[in-house]
């Protein structure tokens, strides 16, 4: 087996493992809160305000990319929402019973 095949096999195994474990990161409440509080129209406008490329927000919304420290700080700087609150927005969605929303 070539190095390339081994690498591909390892990547596929990582993707299968990641898909099998439940995600603890729920990005939609975070992104939706930012859009609401900053009085934006959609994800595209959020991208412009945060000065990030649209695929970044799309990947975050679809749970393919977690919010890193850099973007979290930028969210805080642009929205004036405390970092602790931004982080809690992802936890609240996990802890609430189905059908209940925050705020």
| pTM as predicted | 0.67
Distance CA 57, CA 46 (A): 8
Encode pLDDT of 15-24 as tens digits.
Answer: 666 555 545 6
The pLDDT of residue 65 is 86
Is residue 31 within 8 Å of 46, Cβ to Cβ? Answer: yes
Give the residue among 24, 103, 98 at the shortest CA–CA distance from 66. Answer: 24
Asked if pLDDT for residue 96 goes beyond 60, the answer is no
CA angle 32-35-41, nearest 5°? 115
Asked if pLDDT for residue 87 goes beyond 60, the answer is yes
Domains of the chain: 25-95 (1.10.260.40)
């Amino acid at each position: 087996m070539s190095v390339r095949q081994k690498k591909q096999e390892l990547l596929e195994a990582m993707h299968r493992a990641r898909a099998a474990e439940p995600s603890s990161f729920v990005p939609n409440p975070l992104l939706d809160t930012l859009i609401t509080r900053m009085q934006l129209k959609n994800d595209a406008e959020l991208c412009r305000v945060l000065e990030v490329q649209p695929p970044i927000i799309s990947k975050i919304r679809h749970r393919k990319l977690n919010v890193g420290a850099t973007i979290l700080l930028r969210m805080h700087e642009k929205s004036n929402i405390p970092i602790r609150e931004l982080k809690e927005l992802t936890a609240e969605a996990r802890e609430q019973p189905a059908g209940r929303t925050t705020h």
